[in-house]
Amino acid sequence: MTSRTARHRVLRVTVPAGPREQAAADPRADLLAVEEPLEIRVGGQPLAVTMRTPGHDIDLAAGFLATEGVIGSAADLSQIRMCDDNVADVSLAPGTVLPAEQLRRNFITTSACGVCGKESIDAIRVRARYDVSADQVTVAPAALAAMPDRLREAQRVFASTGGLHAAGIFTAAGDLLVLREDVGRHNAVDKVIGWAFQAGRLPLTGCVLLVSGRASFELTQKALMAGLPMLAAVSAPSSLAAELAEESGMTLVGFLRGSSMNVYSGTERLTTVSALS
């Protein structure tokens, strides 16, 4: 079985209390939740791709088909077998059919392109219009550390519902350009990038995307497609988010809380912090 966690080197950065002190940077190994695509096939035909943590993949395929109403009891299913680490092939029982029209519209797929993380990364890198690795912007750890509070202050709705994800685009100096909220975190990110598109601001050179939750592969991909050199998340990144950021030359910051943060890639963009070696 593929592991559910992956080790990733990380630089733990703590913002100094006084303005003249240097930020403390402590290299360490961090455990990330593994994210890999699973392709669900029915009768050999690809039906859906979902980004998931490996493990219990047959349960995942069965639950997906059951909650979509395709199978209701054991009699509807012939077998599910893994034909690869990341491919579950489902054989329906004779008489059980996929409601073809419904499927095209209803089924969840993600932006994953391959059937392994590496292929997903390669496919995204081919499609990206901008090379964020060339972006030489630098950001002070103290400016980064101040961003979550600014985002929260700007979230008028959050306080009253507790149910919205937020995304914000900041300048390297820490000014908030745009904030959007949504029940879906990918939607909040699409909204801030769509704002930038409409304002003629793509690529978002020199800017930081801050998200209120976790950093997934999908959000990292969206940041890359918009030419953002830095993605910062209040919570943890996934393994595939960290890999995509690293291979693209994007700076990925996680656990941005209080006066500290974990930097998973692109440490050279943090001022007064030495690169991971």
User: Shortest Cβ distance from residue 178 to its own copies (Å)?
Assistant: 9
Query: Residue 63: CB partners within 8 Å, gap ≥ 6?
Result: none
113 is catalytic: yes
User: Shortest Cβ distance from residue 54 to its own copies (Å)?
Assistant: 9
User: Shortest Cβ distance from residue 272 to its own copies (Å)?
Assistant: 27
Query: Residue 51: CB partners within 8 Å, gap ≥ 6?
Result: 35, 36, 37, 38, 110, 112, 216, 217, 218, 240
Look at residue 56 and give its three-state secondary structure: coil
Given the complex with its own copies, which of 118 and 127 has the nearer CB atom? 127
For residue 32, give the amino acid letter: L
**If you write DSSP's letter for every residue of 190-252 in order, what string do you get?**
HHHHHHHHHTT--S-TTEEEEESS-B-HHHHHHHHHTT-SEEEESSPBBHHHHHHHHHHT-EE
Per the residue annotation, which of 83, 113, 116, 207 is the catalytic one? 113
Cβ neighbours of 276 (radius 10 Å)? 15
Given the complex with its own copies, which of 43 and 46 has the nearer CB atom? 46
Query: Residue 236: CB partners within 8 Å, gap ≥ 6?
Result: 32, 33, 214, 215, 254, 255
Given the complex with its own copies, which of 143 and 232 has the nearer CB atom? 232
Determine the Cα angle at 62 with ends 88 and 90, to 5°: 40
User: Shortest Cβ distance from residue 187 to its own copies (Å)?
Assistant: 4
Given the complex with its own copies, which of 23 and 77 has the nearer CB atom? 77
Phi, psi of 193 (to 5 degrees): -70, -35
Tokens of 150: 């600014």
Given the complex with its own copies, which of 62 and 208 has the nearer CB atom? 62
User: Shortest Cβ distance from residue 130 to its own copies (Å)?
Assistant: 9
Q: Which residues are catalytic?
A: 113
